[in-house]
Structure formats: C-alpha cells, structure tokens
Structure 1
Amino acid sequence: MFFWLSVAVALPAAAAPEQALDVGRGERLLILAPHPDDESLSAAGLAQRVFANGGSVRSVVVTSGDAYVDAVVQQTGKRKPSAADFLAFGERRLDESRRAAQVLGKGFLHLDLLGFSDGSIYSALVSHWRRNQPMRSDFTGFDHVPYSEAVDRGYAQDGQDLLSELVAILRETRPTMIAFPDVMENDSDHAGLGMFTLLAVRDWLAREPSQNIHPKMLAYLIHWRPGWPTGSNWGIAQDWSGQPMQLPDDLPLRGHRRVCLNLMPSEVATKRQAMAEYQTQQLIMGDFLSSFVRSSECFTQLQTGDTQRIENVVEHWRHVRKAFDSHPLTRRKI
C-alpha cells in the first residue's frame, strides 16, 4: 500500500514520567480492539470511569480471534483442527466479548463485533487493500466475514472496506476519547489496527474541516517483549491488583506523553470480573490476562495532528518492529 519511505527515524530510548489522565464529564469513549478481550485488557477501567462521569462508551472488536491455534487444539483435543473448529472457536470468543461488555456497561455499552478473521488486519493493510483481492483465512477458509451475528457479515476482508467502516464509526460516534493499539505492538493485528486508526482519524477530520475536533488519542500496549508486564509469563495467574501498570522503559516515546488512570478498587474488581468472561483465554493464558488487572491503566497520548504524519509513524514502526512474535499466519504448523 504505502510502504515506500526510506527515511531513517531516530528512536528515543528514555522513559518519560507518567501524567494523570483526565476524564471529563460526558466523554464519548471509542475503544478499538483487534481481538475479543483486548477491549477489556486495555480500557475496562477507563470505560467504567467514563460511565461514572455521565459519558458513553462504544467498543469495536475487529476480528473474532479465531486463529489461536493452541487454544483451539486444547479446546477440541484435535492435533489438526478443522475449519469448522476454528469458526466455532471464533463464535465463542465473540460471545465472550458480549458477556464482558454486559459486565462493564450493564447494557449501556455499545458493542460492535465486526467479525474479521484473526490475522486479517495487518494483511489488509499491506497486501489485501482492495475489495477484489480480499484476505482469505488459512484457518477458516473464508475471504469474507462468516459470522452470523457479526456486524460486518458478508463483508470482504480488505483494507478499503475496513478503513471505510472505521471512518463511518468515527463520524457516527464523534468520540472525545479514542483508545486504540499502539503501532509499536508486537502483534500483527494490534500494530495493523493502530495504523488503520491513524488513517481513519485522518480521513474523519479531513471530511469535517470546519469542526473543532480534538479527541484524546490514547494508544494502549498489550504485546511487547516477553515478560512485560511482570507476571505475564509466569505460568500461573497472580493477583497484581495492588500494583500500578507501567509502560515499558524501552517503548519509544516518539515525542508523546504517557498518561495513566488510577483505578478505584471497585473498578479493578469489575475489570477482573469482565476478564473472567474470556474463558477460552483464561484456560491457556490466565497469567497474561491477570497481569493487566492492576490499579491503573496507562496509555501513550498522541495528538490528532499526528495522524497527518502517518507515513512517518509507519516508517518509525518499520525500524523497530522487524517481525512479529504473534502473527496467526506464522502458526500454521500445529
């Protein structure tokens, strides 16, 4: 698509002090998540605070997370699961997001499950941009959204359609806060959705040039180097709720600031309750999920003007992220 830049970008290494995230009255929060559970891992506490302050929350989960091979193998007992097995797993994960949304919003959280295939986001960005060349899942066999209750059922899995969908959601929601994956994520879908978010915000603002729109752009981090956060790879879930979240020191600052929201005990408890709904993930990575249930949630805050320099963001990412540790298309051998 647009990977044609060759300008080197210096990588800031020093950690930055974290500042308090201000959540005002009547905020409209939009959470963009690549997989079921990412919306709760990243911003369950923030969502509760927005509700408490009289605001609204809309959560968009782009993929079904259907290509988590280890989890499907464990769930089915099959060494080589079938396409139907992966589809059934995707349906179950989508339902887990519905239940978690009920825990967090008590019926007031607007949840959109787009139903794209696991691994499709980054592919849609770099090699399947047009509708006549959609990404076909190596796991389910579909090149369009197959899930019966997905918002985008029947949509081709291509970059143009995903971008158009995100722009339409932005125009409809008019968020004052956007929580989305950091483009530095060590996961293909996460990094890809981070870039799609920047592209979508740029297009949204370009379509409404007369409006004074300045949403808080909050980039969250789920996948980094092994061992972050502390306890995420210990093999057994631990209680980290008394400790704050801290972004890794080696996460490039890129001229942005870091902000954290200190959570009340009741917000931490509800986040833990929401995370408990993701049983497919608890069975295989409970230690990872529990490591995000802490006394704070932290983000890298961008400015809307940063979306005008998307090519620089992408080039910066390319110098840091040469490959992904987590990419469904690399997990074909079971």
Structure 2
Amino acid sequence: MLASPAIAVAEPSLEIGKGERLLVLAPHPDDETLSSAGLIQQVLQQGGSVRSTVVTSGDAYVGAVMLDSGKRNPSAADYLDFGEKRLEESRRAAEILGKGFVHLDLLGFSDGSIYSALVSHWRRNNPMRSEFTGFDHVPYRQAEDHGFAQDGQDLLNELVAILQDTKPTIIAFPDVMENDSDHAGLGMFTLLAVHNWLLQNPTQRPQPKLLAYLIHWQHGWPTGSNWGIAQDWSDQPLLLPPDLPLRGHSRACINLSPAQINLKRAALAEYKTQQRIMGDFLSAFVRSSECFTQLKPRDGKRIEQVLEHWRQVRKAFDNHPLSRRKI
C-alpha cells in the first residue's frame, strides 16, 4: 500500500492498476521528472513498467549555456557540450527514480526542433538545422538517434515504433496548450503517433489512458516558479491552472506520499544545469500531487480536426508558441 499524503487534491484521483505499462514522453531533459516523477514511482510500486523517452537534448537554453560556459557568446561546441550534460542529467535522475527499472530513451534531437519538424521540416530531405549547434541531424554519440535527420516524418515513425514496442496502458505527454514550442509540438506529435499506432492495431486492448501534463503556462503558474529563489512547496498540491481550457476533457490527479515527494526532489537535484539558473521553477513542481488533463484515445481519431482546433484555441492566448530564442 502507498503511504497517504497529508493533503488531498480537489480533482478526481487517477486510478493506477497493477502491472500498468507507462510511457512518459518529454521534450527536454527534466520534463519527464517535473511532470511524472510521482506517477513513475507509483506505477513501479504497483508492479508495472516504465519507459521514458526524452526527445531533445535541451541544448539551446541560451541563458543556461552562457552561465555554464562562462561566455557571453557561446560557440556551437559550447551548446553541444551543454546538450551532453543535460542528457547525462536525465540518466542520473532516471536511476534515482527507477533504481534501474526505468527504460530511458534519449533521442538527442536539437532543442527547438520539434515544433519546426511539425510545421515546416516534415521531410528527410528538408531537416531542421539548429541555429545553435549547426547540425541538421542528431549529433550526440550517446543518443539513441545519433545521425538521424531532424524531420517530422522520422520523429513520428520513431514514436509509433516506441508505442508498438511498449504497448503502453498509460501515456503521459505535454499538453498541446503548453506555452513552449517543443512542448506544444510534442503534444501534437503524440496524438498523431497514438492515432497511427491504434490504426495499425485496431484490436489493441486496453486502449491507453492519455494524460496531458503542463509545465509552461502564463500568469506565473505554478506559484513560486518565478520568484527567483527556491521555496519548499511540498505540503501543497499542484493543481492545473483554472484558465487552462478544459476542451471537453476531464482532469485527474495522483497524491504523492512524503517518500515519493522526497524522491522527486532528489531526482530534480540531478539536473544541475537547470538548478543553477531556474531552481525556483524546479522546486515549484515538488508538491503533494501531480495533475493531468485526461484525454480519450478516440480524441486522436480525427487528427486533422484536432490540429485545426488546437490552432484556433491557441489564438486566444498568443499568436505563436514561444521560440528557443525568445526563451
């Protein structure tokens, strides 16, 4: 039995059965831990399996690279070195959370490539070239996708292959409403991949729970994420913001025990490149709950309509997801 936390959350509880197969899809190193560290622990404690796929290396966080390199104008080599460090941070965090039982995929795409691959670099003969590293293919030798072109079709095919191999019963992925280009883009890629996977496997049972998580939002959410100094929020729940459109979906949360909260904090401490520049942001996610917008598998069946709906809903918030350069 899982220990009961001191504080309950307002949203309905997410049911985690025995032997679940969880797939966490993250755009950057640390997103898998920020969003789903508690979920990962609870699935493992229920005898399930966990696969975590981090798509990019997070190599284009300009301010962090400047801080890490000590240079006002970092070189391509500095961005590459930073990307290697971030990939290694995900490895260490996964070891802490899963004690060797998390299957971690580090694909190594360039930071900022996901949204570009979705909207303007779909074909292999027109891959996205990073303005920071100068590469149009995955440059990291330790990455799963070393040498792969950075294009949408190849990324989609790989996500479908991961789904086919894992056959997840739960998929955690970024909400398409995220105020970050890679996050929003991976949300759409996930819906596309799930749609294609289920088309190839029409008798797939059970169909997976689709859990959309939120990392980047407006108006200083979550509280404390932009205070400039890390605070301890672990006795408070992390509820989704009230102005996040529900879009006909439902929401669900898990409550974290004190031990699960402490392990999440320990895993996040491994992201040292991020702790140096945004420790307040990371600490704001160490709370007594993790909450998700829960979609239904059929929500991806009319994917063209989903894409169009996404574009229309986003217009109420901004004209374009944030770019790496703006961040």
TM-score normalised by L of structure 2: 0.94
Superposition deviation, residue 325 in structure 1: 6.2
CA deviations 1:105-157 (Å, max 9, x no partner) are 10110000000000000000000000000000000000000001000000000
User: Distance between the aligned counterparts of 1:189 and 1:243, measured in 2?
Assistant: 28
SS at match of 2:104: strand
CA deviations 1:289-314 (Å, max 9, x no partner) are 00000000000000000011322332
TM alignment of 1:141-290, pairs within 5 A: 141-290=134-283
Query: Does 1:306 find its partner at 2:302?
Result: no
TM alignment of 1:85-96, pairs within 5 A: 85-96=78-89
Sort the Cα spacing of 1:162 and 1:290 in 2 relative to 1 into closer, same or farther, 3 A. same
Sort the Cα spacing of 1:72 and 1:184 in 2 relative to 1 into closer, same or farther, 3 A. same
RMSD (Å), alpha carbons: 1.1
* Residue in structure 1 matched with residue 312 of structure 2 by the alignment: 319
Superposition deviation, residue 226 in structure 1: 3.6
SS at match of 2:291: strand
Sort the Cα spacing of 1:213 and 1:130 in 2 relative to 1 into closer, same or farther, 3 A. farther
Contact kept? 1:226, 1:233, Cα under 8 Å: no
Sort the Cα spacing of 1:324 and 1:277 in 2 relative to 1 into closer, same or farther, 3 A. farther
SS at match of 1:169: helix
* Residue in structure 1 matched with residue 6 of structure 2 by the alignment: none
Query: Does 1:63 find its partner at 2:56?
Result: yes
User: Distance between the aligned counterparts of 1:314 and 1:129, measured in 2?
Assistant: 15
Contact kept? 2:250, 2:294, Cα under 8 Å: yes
Superposition deviation, residue 324 in structure 1: 4.8
TM alignment of 1:67-86, pairs within 5 A: 67-86=60-79
Number of aligned pairs? 315
Sort the Cα spacing of 1:232 and 1:201 in 2 relative to 1 into closer, same or farther, 3 A. same
* Residue in structure 2 matched with residue 122 of structure 1 by the alignment: 115
User: Distance between the aligned counterparts of 1:239 and 1:58, measured in 2?
Assistant: 29
Contact kept? 1:119, 1:329, Cα under 8 Å: no
User: Distance between the aligned counterparts of 1:215 and 1:184, measured in 2?
Assistant: 21
1:165 maps to amino acid: E
Contact kept? 1:145, 1:154, Cα under 8 Å: yes
User: Distance between the aligned counterparts of 2:313 and 2:269, measured in 1?
Assistant: 33
User: Distance between the aligned counterparts of 2:320 and 2:142, measured in 1?
Assistant: 30
User: Distance between the aligned counterparts of 1:104 and 1:123, measured in 2?
Assistant: 31
Question: Which of 37, 43, 51 is the aligned partner of 2:36?
Answer: 43
Sort the Cα spacing of 1:217 and 1:47 in 2 relative to 1 into closer, same or farther, 3 A. same
TM-score normalised by L of structure 1: 0.92
* Residue in structure 2 matched with residue 4 of structure 1 by the alignment: none
User: Distance between the aligned counterparts of 1:111 and 1:89, measured in 2?
Assistant: 19
Superposition deviation, residue 76 in structure 1: 1.1
What are the ranges of 5 or more consecutive residues in structure 2 without an aligned counterpart? Answer: 1-9
Superposition deviation, residue 209 in structure 1: 1.4
Contact kept? 1:67, 1:86, Cα under 8 Å: yes
Contact kept? 1:138, 1:329, Cα under 8 Å: no
User: Distance between the aligned counterparts of 1:100 and 1:326, measured in 2?
Assistant: 27
User: Distance between the aligned counterparts of 1:235 and 1:86, measured in 2?
Assistant: 24
Sort the Cα spacing of 1:132 and 1:329 in 2 relative to 1 into closer, same or farther, 3 A. farther
Contact kept? 2:66, 2:74, Cα under 8 Å: yes
* Residue in structure 2 matched with residue 8 of structure 1 by the alignment: none
1:328 maps to amino acid: R
1:327 maps to amino acid: S
1:317 maps to amino acid: W
User: Distance between the aligned counterparts of 2:159 and 2:83, measured in 1?
Assistant: 21
* Residue in structure 2 matched with residue 105 of structure 1 by the alignment: 98
Contact kept? 1:163, 1:199, Cα under 8 Å: yes
User: Distance between the aligned counterparts of 1:310 and 1:208, measured in 2?
Assistant: 17
Sort the Cα spacing of 1:323 and 1:103 in 2 relative to 1 into closer, same or farther, 3 A. farther
User: Distance between the aligned counterparts of 2:131 and 2:93, measured in 1?
Assistant: 28
Superposition deviation, residue 329 in structure 1: 4.2
Sort the Cα spacing of 1:135 and 1:123 in 2 relative to 1 into closer, same or farther, 3 A. same
